[in-house]
Structure 1
């Protein structure tokens, strides 16, 4: 029995390493690896404990790049979490078969497998939660005593120094402590011990101003004053309850409950969900001092209540970002799954044992959608950008976390291209070239400051942008150069086309499963289309845009970008009197956005110029229907219909 946690740890660690990413991946991976490598301040709330632990682990394990080391750290943390959870389930009175089964259902689900293979803060978050649950199960009747209370406080405090959402576990701990308190017990010694040790754990946040004063390469929010420190701590740039800066409109708060239940059912599967319900019904028959409220509150507060509180929108970007947050609630659900297995084993031991094969088979069948072993797409993306930039160039990034973080890792942790000057136009991620007061300026003053800094660089021919916009700098067109754009005046020379030197390695199953893969890989054909459009190759450019849409059908930024490029293609084709290409471009805009008045009108004009009166009448009638107050448009539609005849 003593070997059980160790064996589980080693088994899951081996599995984690076998599917571990070889380097950076999409998302926060590059930033967190860079923050660990050079002890920087990551995005709010800074994740100080993760940065310190990553630095210590990466220094003690000096093999491979920093991303490989921090990926390995995640593998160790998540494997340790499952071992600690199994030990907690044993302390709660659950049999070996039931606790191993619960750990298998949790640790082999696709989301857990994926999260165990990449650099993220959730491995440490889950370990802190499991450690707190272990203390609760070890001292279920003594949580008001100073030592157990101090242990729980330290677990939660350290966990909060990594991820704020661990505070949602506190009500479950307090419920257990209150329900099982011995009569006559003094509460204040335990409260004091828990509070003091919790504050000691959260003291890791002092890392933020201390490191920020040293001017690290990444310094989100520059938390060197009390005001800026609080802004970083409370995630003011995001909104304290928001998961991303962008996102669609929020829906009804109650719609978050079926959202959580649906995704949980999809990931954990029908057998685990059924076992959790059986465990919920049969918990009171279990000979355990752990109250039912403890696992239920863990599951509910870290799951549907968290969603109810933040009420995040249902767009694909936010939905994908949400997935990792469900893992903490599933730690609570694992208690119920274990109880369900134990209840079933009392009725039919063979049936309960047979159920252990379900997560094993499921993990094997889903291997290609969660294994990150050959995921090189984010690394290739960052390297491709570096290949695009000539010596001593300046790259200003106009949004895009994957651009920020992949380049932060490659240039700071891997020391590639020290000749480059990198900046983000928001003045958040890299050292701001706009001055220390930039973040406090008004929108208009910020734009003025940007122009003052960027215009001389453009005049010197050293400026490149990473952007999806068509214009940023007055007087300059943004010419496509590989994945980037370069401000250029008419007739100016551009660098050689870098596409032949690019590498793009991605997995179709990962593309299908993971939103961030789709959102980034779709950028390649979009930028290829921009290059072809600049060469007047309208139909080839449209083919690339169609490919982009097929790669990222649910990517929010893609539809407006593709629509805008198609409009430009149509306009340029009209200028050349290439009516076939113009028709194809405007028809594609109308298909993409049936409510696009201007596109229908332009399509009608293209048909009109070809004297194709029937389709002209139909297109202009569509446009007139979208703008019934426009009498001129109605007259054109009627005129085209008369010319078309009966």
Structure 2
């Protein structure tokens, strides 16, 4: 009965959060990595490094055994683990407050933990990872489970080899989800158990080495997937040499090359701006006070948590330098946000105790009721503004833009055509659409930026069945590829600046451009009147859809500018301004 009572609130958190996220889940694949991961799961492909093999295994099993419509079910997968992660973090917060011994009442500890975790649950940073198919909700659930195990080890009088083994096996599995954020949490997690001498430093290091080895086994999945030459085959890790290069992100240096002091400072200020919108300035100030208190009173808890917080904040500097606030950056911040929530809960509990002390001498029942009422009013005043701003901010339940765009783009491409995409967004969306609708797979979709890598050129060569001895060299690959492709296939192109040299040979056809050496654009000045770019972009409602369309419209306008058709180009610029005003973009 005792354990049943203890399970009621965690279960309520799980069910409540699950209901909240499920009703906001995107009904189909979303843009960018969500589309890429959909293509990887349904097509048994290889996504960009680090590959997320454990995530692919779990989501593939989820889809295969439940036999649900993958368009929605993969997003529900994220909602499930978003709810589970929140449930785990509630329990982590309770355990930390117990260790601090700030209250004897389990009810007050539970209430403070629930209030604190609730603001995290409705934040955009957390909830946007639970309403679209992404790695971050599963990744956080794993981190929360690892933290929970560490706290369980601390609370035990005698060491448990089984619990320690479970920790390191779980660590290995989640290093195969989002390895950067989990790896950056390792020093703090190990310090939690080594500091109070619940585990020796030697055993902790040996266990961590074992975790990395165990994690490596999951990456063999990517090797097996690559050997079947799937449409999405990033890095082509079809042999051990390529797999090692893939794991070490050889040639994928866009992020790490920017790890300079100036970049870190710029990204940290960017992270702070995002962070403060999740819990508000008042709650952040209270969290800072809680941080100071825990460092002062229980540094064996405070320092490890601070280490986890700090390293994961810095992880944003490893992320791409996006043109705008990308939802993936919120994923990088989830762990740091969760640590701040613990410090906030500590301050809330201290405030409750302070209120209680003001009612000494009154009857116990009256004291508790008054203190509780005042505390709840105070907490609502602090948390209501950010909660109001963020409530349902991740609602994607009516967003079908990625599927609609990809479907229209592929429908506009002639049968048996070679489709050359420039935006990775278009590339991923097209592959996700083909994975969902097999009748569209007769069109070979490639991405020209993959041609910067040998594996990308090999992938495109296979699409045209070009023999290995006839490989094109990198410097002239674009023109050589088109010249070879047009002999037997229509060539359908997504325009950006890389295609500017051949702009005069590109004839707009729906969402893309048909390559032709003979036809010309008959009346470019009036082309944009019935252009689907205008009509489809007008439907964009959520922030990411709007920002995505801004980039697509910009390329469309640049095409007409290149042809000196300023009147046509101006229509796209005007549409960009209209969309930007919706999203308050600069």
Task: State TM-score, norm by structure 2.
Answer: 0.81
In structure 2, the residue matched to 1:56 is 61
Is 1:517 the counterpart of 2:546? The answer is: yes
| Match 1:160 to one of 158, 161, 175 | 175
Is 1:448 the counterpart of 2:457? The answer is: no
For the Cα contact (< 8 Å) 2:36–2:47, is it kept in 1? yes
CA drift at 1:507: 6.4
CA drift at 1:263: 2.5
CA drift at 1:50: 1.1
| Structure 2: stretches of 5+ with no match in the other structure | 1-5, 99-108, 356-371
Alpha-carbon separation, structure 1, partners of 2:159 and 2:266:
38
Alpha-carbon separation, structure 2, partners of 1:416 and 1:391:
11
Alpha-carbon separation, structure 1, partners of 2:27 and 2:343:
35
Is 1:274 the counterpart of 2:288? The answer is: no
Is 1:391 the counterpart of 2:405? The answer is: no
In structure 1, the residue matched to 2:303 is 293
Alpha-carbon separation, structure 2, partners of 1:475 and 1:20:
39
In structure 1, the residue matched to 2:81 is 77
In structure 2, the residue matched to 1:172 is 188
- Give 3-state SS (helix, strand or coil) of 1:25's partner: coil
The more displaced of 484-493 and 403-412 is 484-493
Alpha-carbon separation, structure 1, partners of 2:504 and 2:555:
21
CA drift at 1:351: 3.9
Structure 1 residues 449 and 186: CA distance shift in structure 2, 3 A: closer
CA drift at 1:73: 0.5
- Give 3-state SS (helix, strand or coil) of 1:140's partner: helix
- Give 3-state SS (helix, strand or coil) of 1:40's partner: coil
Give runs of aligned pairs for residues 491-506 of structure 1, distance below 5 A: 491=519, 504=536
Is 1:463 the counterpart of 2:491? The answer is: yes
In structure 1, the residue matched to 2:461 is 434
Alpha-carbon separation, structure 1, partners of 2:140 and 2:517:
53
For the Cα contact (< 8 Å) 2:43–2:230, is it kept in 1? yes
Deviations 1:563-589 (A, max 9, x none): xxxxxxxxxxxxxxxxxxxxxxxxxxx
Structure 1 residues 127 and 139: CA distance shift in structure 2, 3 A: same
In structure 1, the residue matched to 2:341 is 334
For the Cα contact (< 8 Å) 1:141–1:289, is it kept in 2? no
Structure 1 residues 135 and 483: CA distance shift in structure 2, 3 A: same
Structure 1 residues 455 and 164: CA distance shift in structure 2, 3 A: same
Structure 1 residues 527 and 544: CA distance shift in structure 2, 3 A: same
In structure 1, the residue matched to 2:315 is 306
Alpha-carbon separation, structure 2, partners of 1:5 and 1:134:
13
CA drift at 1:404: 0.9
For the Cα contact (< 8 Å) 1:465–1:484, is it kept in 2? yes
For the Cα contact (< 8 Å) 2:128–2:327, is it kept in 1? no
- Give 3-state SS (helix, strand or coil) of 2:442's partner: coil
Point out which structure has higher relative CO (alpha carbons under 8 A, 6+ apart).
Answer: 2
Structure 1 residues 347 and 505: CA distance shift in structure 2, 3 A: farther
Alpha-carbon separation, structure 2, partners of 1:477 and 1:508:
30
The more displaced of 23-32 and 473-482 is 473-482
Is 1:217 the counterpart of 2:217? The answer is: no
In structure 1, the residue matched to 2:572 is 544
Alpha-carbon separation, structure 2, partners of 1:283 and 1:481:
62
Aligned residue pairs total: 540
Deviations 1:200-220 (A, max 9, x none): 344211211122223333211
In structure 2, the residue matched to 1:629 is none
Alpha-carbon separation, structure 1, partners of 2:411 and 2:387:
38
| Match 2:331 to one of 324, 336, 349 | 324
| Match 2:516 to one of 482, 488, 498 | 488
- Give 3-state SS (helix, strand or coil) of 1:92's partner: helix
CA drift at 1:28: 0.5
Alpha-carbon separation, structure 2, partners of 1:17 and 1:384:
27
Alpha-carbon separation, structure 2, partners of 1:138 and 1:343:
24
Alpha-carbon separation, structure 2, partners of 1:342 and 1:518:
41
Give runs of aligned pairs for residues 592-611 of structure 1, distance below 5 A: none
- Give 3-state SS (helix, strand or coil) of 1:271's partner: helix
Alpha-carbon separation, structure 2, partners of 1:386 and 1:209:
29
CA drift at 1:191: 4.7
Is 1:150 the counterpart of 2:165? The answer is: yes
Structure 1 residues 12 and 471: CA distance shift in structure 2, 3 A: closer
Alpha-carbon separation, structure 2, partners of 1:119 and 1:93:
33
Alpha-carbon separation, structure 2, partners of 1:100 and 1:213:
48
| Structure 1: stretches of 5+ with no match in the other structure | 560-646
CA drift at 1:459: 5.1
Structure 1 residues 319 and 186: CA distance shift in structure 2, 3 A: closer
CA drift at 1:234: 1.9
CA drift at 1:532: 10
Structure 1 residues 159 and 541: CA distance shift in structure 2, 3 A: same
Structure 1 residues 290 and 15: CA distance shift in structure 2, 3 A: farther
Task: State TM-score, norm by structure 1.
Answer: 0.74
CA drift at 1:62: 2.2
Alpha-carbon separation, structure 1, partners of 2:267 and 2:33:
25
In structure 2, the residue matched to 1:641 is none
- Give 3-state SS (helix, strand or coil) of 1:139's partner: helix
Structure with greater helix percent: 2
- CA root-mean-square deviation: 3.9
Flag the structure with larger Rg.
1
| Match 1:14 to one of 15, 19, 34 | 19
